[in-house]
Amino acid sequence: MREEISPLPYEGECKTMMEIPTKQFTETTIEELIIPSEKIAHVQIGNPLEHALLVLVKSGYSAVPVLTPSYKLEGIISKTIILEEVLGMERFEMERLSVIKVDAIMKNDIPTLKKYDSLSLGLKKTIDHPFVCVVDEKKQFDGLLTRRAILKKINQMLHADN
Eight-state DSSP code of residue 99: T
- The reply to whether 14 falls in a domain is no
Q: How far apart are CA 152 and CA 160, in angstroms?
A: 12
Counted domains in the chain: 1
Average pLDDT, the chain: 87
Q: In this prediction, what percent of the chain has a pLDDT beyond 70?
A: 83
CATH of the domain at 131: 3.10.580.10
Tell me the per-residue pLDDT of 84-93, one tens digit each, with 9 for 90 and over. 999 988 888 9
Helices (H), the chain: 22-27, 49-59, 79-86, 102-105, 119-126, 147-158
In a domain, 125, yes or no: yes
Residue 162 pLDDT exceeds 60: no
Query: Above 60 in pLDDT, residue 4?
Result: no
What tens digit of pLDDT does each residue of 104-137 get? 999 999 999 999 999 989 999 999 999 999 999 9
Asked whether residue 13 is assigned to any structural domain, the reply reads: no
In a domain, 62, yes or no: yes
Give the burial string for 108-133 (b: 16+ CB within 10 Å, else e).
eebeebebebebebbbebbeeeebbb
- Domain boundaries, position 78: 19-158
The string of DSSP letters for 37-53 reads GGG---EETT-BHHHHH
**Looking at per-residue confidence, does 7 or 79 come out higher?**
79
pLDDT at residue 6 in the model: 46
pTM score of the predicted model = 0.81
CA 139 – CA 158 distance, rounded (Å)? 33
Task: Output phi, psi for 107, to 5 deg.
Answer: -90, 120
Q: Are 89 and 66 in contact (CB under 8 A)?
A: no
